[in-house]
Structure 1
Amino acid sequence: MGILGLFVTTCVATLISRATALLAFPGAEGFGRNAVGGRTGSVYHVTNLDDSGTGSFRDAVSKANRIIVFDVGGTINIDTRIAVSKNIYIAGQTAPGDGITVYGNGMSFSNANDAIVRYIRFRMGKGGDSGKDGITIADGSNMIFDHVSAAWGRDETFSINGAVHNVTIQNTIIAQGLETHSCGGLMQSDYGISLFRNLYIDNKTRNPKVKGMNDFQNNVIYNWGGGGGYIAGDSAGQSYANIVNNYFISGPSTSVTAFTRGNANFHGYVSENYYDSNKDGTLNGSPLCVETSCYSDMAIEQTRFDYPGPERLMKAPDAVPYVLSNVGANFPARDDVDEGLVAEVKSYGKKGELISDENASFLGELGGSMATSALKDTDGDGIPDEWEDAHGLDPQDPSDAMEIGGSGYANIEVYVNSLVPSL
């Protein structure tokens, strides 16, 4: 057996033991699909938009093994970076109003093993520390990010680089890394990163930059700059990636082709990736050739790597409207920034820009005003009385929220997961 065959066989064997484990939530896919979150812990209510203190988001993620619900919506301004503990489920879909935006100095999920992060916006901005990522992961395992909106990183906007095992980023916006660096992010791990149905937009380069073991399917990439779109390794290290049914669309800032910096060390299985380069206001791209000349000299593999892919793989032209309708923190509602980014893509080459200061962007306000319309929850267990009554729980008993039901999920997980579609 050759080195490549041994690598794939070993990876598949590692995945088999996880294949029958409970999904993080219905619709969780890819390498991080079995993250546990706070299933065996406790419920924490975020009750204010303060940077710190009791009831704050920072306090919520400071201790392990919590399911975090939001009694308020709006923008949380943070002065210092927030480090997330292990076994956390951030259920942003529970926030009232337009949801939650965390704005400021960035987030670290390093060693935040078994994190589940859904329906929340993380935006760093010019006031963040120079040389820091908007979201960074340097170590850890079993994490999934679903319907997240990430923007305005000072170094990278969303970056994974290190001994990181089994991570999925799905249905997520990775946008507007600030110049002069202006990077979507590194996705560099030898132990499995899945990227499904995401939108990379208005990043000069690294949309993403991939090294190691990666599954890149049904993503939309718009208006990268001269640094490049998908960067294939650019190193002596070995990489093994599926690159399937993605759509690359040039915008006003785009001056180089979709794939750059590949070499023989980057092993890519490629299929039906579309490229629309003419900036004519219409989505009318065509499939890239399946040759090294179209994929920046990477080694083209004939067999798909047997990674845990998406349950429903769309054709690239079908992925574009799906992604634009569903991507990002769109529940309870999209905010002006995300609406503006989606509108840029829909111009198909006519609109879009690289920015150095989020305040100069024309996309609008970065989050909704404070909202406090949480439903009645007599026992304070995170599940509204009405839902408990309808599902045979006791609205006077706070302990039943964390009871594990027949589905394998805690009752509060069943509730928070029911708020949003399964994909």
Structure 2
Amino acid sequence: MTPNRRSFMRAVGAGSIGAALLPLTSGTAVAATIITIRGAGADIWSSEDAFHYYYEARSGDFDVVVRNTALERTEANAKTGIMVRETLEPDAKNVMLRRTPSGEASLQWRPAAGIDTLSTTSGGEDESEVSGGSLEADWLRLTRSGDVIEAYGSTDGSDWTRIAQLTADNLELSSDTYVGLPVTSHVEGTLCTAELRDLSGLSPDTNRDIGDVQVAGSVSVEEGVPFVSTEPPTDVEATSATVNGDLTDMGGAESAECYFEYRKVPTESWQTASSTTLSSTGTYSAELDDLTRRRYYEVRAVAEMSDGDSTTGSAVTFGTPSRANGQSGENGPESVSQFDLGDGFADPAPWLDDDTPVIKITEPTTRQFETALNVDGPRVVVFETSGVIDLQEQQLTVTNDELYIAGQTAPSPGITLVRGSIWLDSSDNVIQHIRVRPGDAGNDSGWEPDCIFTEDGTENNVIDHCTATWGVDENISVGYDTSDTTVSNCLIAEALQDSSHSKGPHGYGSLIGNNAKNVTLAGNVWAHTLDRNPRLKEGTRTVVVNNVVHHYKDGVWMDPDTQASIEGNVFEWPISEQPNVFGDGGVYVDDNVLNWEADVPMVGDRITELDSRPLWPDGLETLAADDVREHNFRNVGARPADRTAHDERIIEAVRSGNGSYIDSQEEVGGYPDLSENTHTLDVPQSGTHAWLRQWSREVEEDE
């Protein structure tokens, strides 16, 4: 190595590191300088933050630019970026231009100390100047001029797009602030690594943890290092592709051996492609000709320098097509249930065709499953294994649209997720034939998961033939301002009553958030859930058809400015005198029954009964209420023809009028331990819809 070419400093935990680092000159970019920050913490959000911060004290205006070249995906909402905050207290007033592992950049801010944070994607959408509140950006720029703060993103560091502008009407920051680079893992006790370069306008001299992070973060800075980036592949065919890299800095070396590593998603072993020797910076390529059709691949550029250094670019994901030219063929058999997954307002996976890549889960691990969920592109997730996936108190957040989870493809006894939840912060998704059982996960205060939840503002999501039990907040819920959501043929049961929720007893069935439009709830069973069966919040438009509500205090609870068609439902074993449909709003009710001669009104006094349906999906046909119990008992849950002991226990208890409310999964046998069986899936080149539907029939129909 060339003497004195590199200076390196590593600081573990909090403390000052400024004097030992080569200084970064304010206002100018220092070439080939890599800043690596490792930070833990639950989040930079809500009313308090937890993260690692590399910063300097500043007074007055600033113009800071940085390029984020890598961000570890510890969780979908891990983040780094540029921040200005008024104090170093966890609840301080602040503004952050954030970037997440998806590559999307957006702006968030806390208007006053100790209050909830807003962002251009949640709560502060009116301030956004870009569609959806975020944009894809590697380069970030945050400026301050007096009381005006502006956030920009760029893909090349030259052409900038303004994301938002904040003024004193949004928040007032004092002149004296702390400006720097934050990192949070969004997972308590787990470090997330962020790599940043091309920093200008800032000379950070201190790093420390802020808030409760449980494990200390760190910062390292390297100068004079080589750098290679992975460029998008070209000429992608069913079994081949051209992969591309760009060696932009050799770090003083005379030559570099440049090559690529690639692998299928989500397997771990990298394969190596042929190499090229470069004696100067520039681009290079290689041909991959051993790929499998209809798969996603990760590829990363690598350069090994003649002086012993090496550099690896961030991985780029690409999918290979089939040879069927995208034709989807026949749809295949409909569901055994009265309610097919397309009978609601949602259109199930309109993007799915015979070119859509398929991701195989071969081990029941969180790593494989989360990687598959969050590939950026249309994907079908299938299972060559059964078993329990222990989420270890994680909320798996799906931030990319066009996901199809096909739990029906797993061998018996299927897939169960425990100690965690799925949060769909995306649209055009289908989840079928899985079980989600969060449980109390140690009964720590503040553990408040739903089983499955669609985020505010999402649309066209289908949750079909799933089992959702042991939620602490709700079991299955639909977010605010959503549209076209279907929940069908689901077993929604045994929400934990007095568990770990911060508000105390709070285990409920389903919440339909304010202004959710065109929600279909069909053929489900709510059992042993005290309240919200379902709860229809203000402004919602909902169809509630042919469900069983069993052992409940509150049935369908409606707010003002709600409209619903409530037909053919069965209510049984109420434990209060509350009407089954109560609150406010306008409702068309027909053929709903109350079993077992319970003396409870069907409709409350404040409900306005309508003469006709205010909304109804095209083609949806109802069952007579007298047929609903047995139909639903045969058809609800993840695998009606292949039920696990917990699902069978719940169904038999409801059928016979038994069962009880629970505070912990330990009262009913605890978390399951399922066999890890395997089989090989032969993914078809054509007829994808029919293939998935045939697998559904296998787990729905008891021969």
TM-score category, normalised to shorter length: 0.7 to 0.9
Cα distance per residue 1:322-350 (max 9 Å; x no partner):
000111112561111111111111113xx
**Bigger mean CA offset, 184-193 vs 242-251:** 184-193
Is 1:244 the equivalent of 2:567?
Answer: yes
- The letter of the residue matching 1:220 is V
Is 1:145 the equivalent of 2:463?
Answer: yes
Give the corresponding residue for 1:269.
Answer: 588
User: Which whole-Å CA distance do the structure 2 matches of 1:271 and 1:332 have between them?
Assistant: 31
Is 1:372 the equivalent of 2:675?
Answer: no
Cα distance per residue 1:179-210 (max 9 Å; x no partner):
12110020134421000000001111001101
Give the corresponding residue for 1:420.
Answer: 696
Instruction: Rate the CA distance shift 1:86–1:25 in 2: closer, same or farther, 3 A.
Output: farther
User: Which whole-Å CA distance do the structure 2 matches of 1:187 and 1:51 have between them?
Assistant: 28
Q: Tell me the SS of whatever aligns to 1:163.
A: coil
Identical columns (%)? 25
Is 1:182 the equivalent of 2:507?
Answer: yes
CA RMSD of aligned residues (A): 2.5
Give the corresponding residue for 1:15.
Answer: none
Q: Tell me the SS of whatever aligns to 1:337.
A: helix
Instruction: Rate the CA distance shift 1:193–1:29 in 2: closer, same or farther, 3 A.
Output: same
Higher strand share: 2
Cα distance per residue 1:83-136 (max 9 Å; x no partner):
12310111111000111101122110122x110111111111101862332222
Instruction: Tell me the CA shift for residue 151 of structure 1.
Output: 1.1
Which of the two has higher C-alpha Rg? 2
Instruction: Tell me the CA shift for residue 277 of structure 1.
Output: 4.6
Is 1:360 the equivalent of 2:667?
Answer: yes
Instruction: Tell me the CA shift for residue 229 of structure 1.
Output: 1.8
Instruction: Tell me the CA shift for residue 299 of structure 1.
Output: 0.6
Counterpart contact for 2:478–2:516, Cα < 8 Å: no
- The letter of the residue matching 2:565 is N
Counterpart contact for 1:250–1:277, Cα < 8 Å: yes
Give the corresponding residue for 1:97.
Answer: 412
Q: 2:547 aligns with which of 194, 216, 219?
A: 219
Instruction: Rate the CA distance shift 1:274–1:332 in 2: closer, same or farther, 3 A.
Output: closer
Q: 1:45 aligns with which of 328, 352, 360?
A: 360
Q: 1:65 aligns with which of 345, 370, 378?
A: 378
Cα distance per residue 1:274-329 (max 9 Å; x no partner):
01255xxxxxx79966xxxx335211001112420663311111011000011111
**Bigger mean CA offset, 93-102 vs 25-34:** 25-34
Q: Tell me the SS of whatever aligns to 2:478.
A: strand
Structure 1: which 5+ runs fail to align? Answer: 1-21, 279-284, 384-399, 404-410
Counterpart contact for 2:578–2:600, Cα < 8 Å: no
Q: How does 1:286-365 map to 2 (within 5 A)?
A: 294-308=603-617, 311-330=620-639, 333-348=642-657, 351-361=658-668
Give the corresponding residue for 1:192.
Answer: 518
- The letter of the residue matching 2:523 is R
Aligned length: 346
- The letter of the residue matching 1:222 is H
Cα distance per residue 1:45-102 (max 9 Å; x no partner):
00101121xxx21111011310111000111000211112310111111000111101
Instruction: Rate the CA distance shift 1:319–1:33 in 2: closer, same or farther, 3 A.
Output: farther
- The letter of the residue matching 1:201 is A
Give the corresponding residue for 1:74.
Answer: 387
Give the corresponding residue for 1:136.
Answer: 453
Give the corresponding residue for 1:167.
Answer: 485
Cα distance per residue 1:206-248 (max 9 Å; x no partner):
01101310000000000113xx122122xx4x11100001000
Instruction: Rate the CA distance shift 1:230–1:23 in 2: closer, same or farther, 3 A.
Output: farther
Q: 2:344 aligns with which of 30, 35, 39?
A: 30
User: Which whole-Å CA distance do the structure 1 matches of 2:637 and 2:425 have between them?
Assistant: 22
Counterpart contact for 2:331–2:690, Cα < 8 Å: no
Instruction: Tell me the CA shift for residue 30 of structure 1.
Output: 0.8
User: Which whole-Å CA distance do the structure 1 matches of 2:622 and 2:582 have between them?
Assistant: 27
Q: Tell me the SS of whatever aligns to 2:696.
A: coil
- The letter of the residue matching 1:342 is I
Give the corresponding residue for 1:395.
Answer: none
User: Which whole-Å CA distance do the structure 1 matches of 2:479 and 2:468 have between them?
Assistant: 17
Instruction: Rate the CA distance shift 1:160–1:361 in 2: closer, same or farther, 3 A.
Output: same
Q: Tell me the SS of whatever aligns to 2:652.
A: helix
User: Which whole-Å CA distance do the structure 2 matches of 1:195 and 1:24 have between them?
Assistant: 24
Counterpart contact for 1:335–1:365, Cα < 8 Å: no
- The letter of the residue matching 2:428 is D
| Greater RCO (CA < 8 Å, at least 6 residues apart) | 1
User: Which whole-Å CA distance do the structure 1 matches of 2:382 and 2:551 have between them?
Assistant: 35
Instruction: Rate the CA distance shift 1:161–1:420 in 2: closer, same or farther, 3 A.
Output: closer
User: Which whole-Å CA distance do the structure 2 matches of 1:210 and 1:309 have between them?
Assistant: 22
Q: Tell me the SS of whatever aligns to 1:420.
A: helix
Instruction: Rate the CA distance shift 1:24–1:310 in 2: closer, same or farther, 3 A.
Output: farther
Give the corresponding residue for 2:423.
Answer: 108
Instruction: Rate the CA distance shift 1:303–1:332 in 2: closer, same or farther, 3 A.
Output: closer
- The letter of the residue matching 2:507 is S
Provide the TM-score with structure 1 as the length reference: 0.76
**Bigger mean CA offset, 254-263 vs 138-147:** 254-263
